Chains A and B, each alone.
Chain A
């Protein structure tokens, strides 16, 4: 049985030659709207999809032309960190105030709940839940990500304000785990959004999740968690991978 990944297992690593244009198996997304707003004509070069127009704006090819004006056409930008002492101080604050997006994407989300209780008490590590992506800085992908959920994951991740961090919880996020040959589950999460820390196990216990948070805090303090910038740098690569599996892409190319 083919998985969502193996159906078109032709990934190109970020930075590889030609990563700006990835084959899109869905012919619907390569048809540029004729007579649209003029900003969204999808460029196809040798049958390959371009997410950005020549003016480096988002094509938003899947939106109806009358809707395009309502949405952003700017791709995310790389924002360089400050220097030395000041960035270290800000990274310390970021690591000691981790707000989790309260979005249980899979069965692993059940392991998040005990962290709030008095037994594990995540608040003492500066971790707390937040119900809106706008205010959250950590996205915990709780286990398997089905294609349907992936669409929501992308929307939520893009709405978070950078710097933002992603924890992949459970084996399913690493290689699909027990869902590796499922027809509707992605196998490798970091092909779709940048992941900072993976926590292996099925299911990992809350202690493992806490250990993952501790690891994440160390990495943030060392300035190694630049996922938002990685996403902006390799935007077209991520976007093409996402569009390959999400068939009903009726949203802007970047959910700002």
Chain B
């Protein structure tokens, strides 16, 4: 029993280390790609590592109270929870994490848990820009949740399960089996919702530096900020792995290294899609993004669900 727990703990650490480092490098690489689009050289791909070390190397920090302290902790718990209940690589013991039969529902809860915790923490900082950022973030989150949930419901109805592992298993046997091709409407609604979830342009008004200084984390500094930066990597990695699993056939191969390579390629392309959209479109205002999500993507999501019902 003890050996089993220790083994699982070791696998969890390995899995977390891989996704954290991969996502940090991916974030740095995408910043560099954006720079190339703008005709710049851009920051080194390892800049996110330096920023995290720098934030944690601050000698002083200010806390505004218990909830302020817990805000980044909740956010990190949300990121870790999201990742640890998603099977990162199908069929791998090390990267199966804590996947179980109802993980799809739990994961949807975890995605929003961190944001709500952060909202409480940012609220206690007392900074008006934090409150404005939180209000914008929660409004936008409520809006993109609708097409996202509709696409997930369509998938659950299609495969008759709430287990991510089973959804991935049903997509094996060639790319024509991927949900992206067997259920394109759900994929479209889900991938549009993913744009809002990733917080890149055009849905970046929550942390828009030019309009409200940085939004919810305005007062976060030093190791609080370091924790949020680390979580940003884990959370982004988790969301990309989730969408890879839901719509793009997951990552499966008998050789673990090849499976990791498949995961890297697929998640890179998913993030590249977010980056290309972000580099191409200007920022929406909050009401514009809410109207956008409640419009065409929601209709597509409803159509995907209805198609599964008939």
- Measuring CB to CB, which residues of chain A are less than 8 angstroms from any residue of chain B? 79, 89-90, 93-94, 96-97, 102, 118, 121, 123-124, 126, 128-132, 134-135, 137, 161-163, 228, 256
Contact = CB atoms under 8 A, between A and B. Distances in A.
Contact of B219 (A129, A131, A134): A134
Interface in B199-252: 209-210, 213-214, 217-222, 225
Given A79-B59, A161-B221, A97 B38 contact: no
Chain B binding site: helix, strand, loop or mixed by DSSP? loop
B5 interface: no
A124 B50 contact: no
B53 interface: yes
B283 to A, nearest CB: 15
A79 B222 CA distance: 15
A93 B60 contact: no
A170 B35 CA distance: 29
Contacts of B219: 132, 134
Contacts of B222: 161
Interface in B111-140: 129
- Interface SS of A by simple majority: loop
A79 B60 CA distance: 8
A230 B253 CA distance: 59
Contacts of B44: 124, 126
Contact of B40 (A96, A102, A124): A124
Interface of B: 31, 35, 38-44, 47, 50-51, 53-55, 57-62, 129, 209-210, 213-214, 217-222, 225
B214 A130 contact: yes
- 7 closest A-B pairs by beta carbon, nearest first, are A131-B213, A134-B221, A97-B54, A93-B53, A118-B39, A90-B57, A121-B40
Contacts, number: 85
Given A93-B53, A134-B221, A163 B58 contact: yes
B68 to A, nearest CB: 12
A191 B114 CA distance: 45
B106 to A, nearest CB: 33
Contacts of B213: 102, 131-132
24 contacts: A79-B59, A90-B53, A93-B50, A93-B57, A94-B54, A94-B57, A97-B50, A121-B42, A123-B40, A123-B42, A124-B35, A124-B44, A126-B50, A130-B214, A131-B213, A131-B218, A134-B62, A134-B219, A135-B214, A137-B54, A161-B60, A161-B62, A162-B59, A163-B58
B42 A134 contact: no
Contacts of A96: 47, 50, 54
Given A118-B38, A124-B42, A161-B62, A131 B214 contact: yes
Contacts of A256: 62
B47 A97 contact: yes
A149 B60 CA distance: 25
A129 B39 CA distance: 19
A227 to B, nearest CB: 12
Contact of A118 (B40, B55, B218): B40
Contacts of B35: 121, 123-124
Given A121-B40, A134-B218, A162 B58 contact: yes
